[in-house]
Chains A and B, each alone.
Chain A
Amino acid sequence: DQQVKQNSPSLSVQEGRISILNCDYTNSMFDYFLWYKKYPAEGPTFLISISSIKDKNEDGRFTVFLNKSAKHLSLHIVPSQPGDSAVYFCAAIYGGSQGNLIFGKGTKLSVKP
């Protein structure tokens, strides 16, 4: 049973517009959520995270929103740039420092010039 779900395999956005990547989860015990970005031929790189006690975290062009009641989080990229084209993985962890990351299947974002 998949605990972290990214239901959109791909997303295409025009440069300068907003990209919204969505993630749903089933385990209410998750206490931290993270987004990773992956370019071809490279390993995933950490992008942004949010604690379950918050509903928003911003870092430059990237904002993550968490809706605990809906068990849903989203990553907003504003404005989108062609260099943002990559696969984005949502991940979650429970058990604090003793836990492990559980990843979604990823969403491939294409930002067109």
Chain B
Amino acid sequence: DADVTQTPRNRITKTGKRIMLECSQTKGHDRMYWYRQDPGLGLRLIYYSFDVKDINKGEISDGYSVSRQAQAKFSLSLESAIPNQTALYFCATSDERVTYGYTFGSGTRLTVV
């Protein structure tokens, strides 16, 4: 099993719908992150959480919300999806030694039509 699992892998949804992307990890890491990748724009941070009671906005949090249900679970919600939220979404984890790098999931490809 993968260390960081994202579900679903692919999703097509309609404008205005609420959608949740889920992430679970078996690394035992306290820190979890949600990134978005767009062609030509690299990876941009949406939200991050350093522990279960800690939630922080990243660079592009507008239109998104998150929930840290447990140390191992961090979900990302789009309350009312819009087409420009079409992107590849990655969840990542790390421990406090961030300089050792993050462990990323395989991504969720979301298309909003």
Chain A residues at the B interface, C-beta cutoff of 8 Å: 6, 9, 32, 34, 36, 41-46, 49, 51, 89, 93, 96-97, 99-106
Contact = CB atoms under 8 A, between A and B. Distances in A.
Contact of B98 (A36, A97, A103): A97
A43 B106 contact: yes
A46 B100 contact: yes
A41 B43 contact: no
B90 A9 contact: no
A6 to B, nearest CB: 8
A43 B40 CA distance: 16
Contact of A9 (B40, B92, B99): B40
Residue of A6, A34, A100 most packed against chain B (CB within 10 A): A100
Interface residues of B, number: 25
B43 A89 contact: yes
A2 to B, nearest CB: 9
Contacts of A46: 100-103
Nearest to B43: A103
B1 interface: no
Contacts of B102: 44, 46, 101
Given A43-B107, A44-B90, A100-B33, A34 B101 contact: yes
Interface string B78-113: 000000000000101000111111111111000000
A34 B100 CA distance: 9
B105 A43 contact: yes
A99 B107 contact: no
B99 A93 contact: yes
Nearest to A36: B101
A47 B102 CA distance: 11
Interface in B15-57: 33, 35, 40-45, 48
Nearest to B40: A105
B106 A41 contact: yes
B58 interface: yes
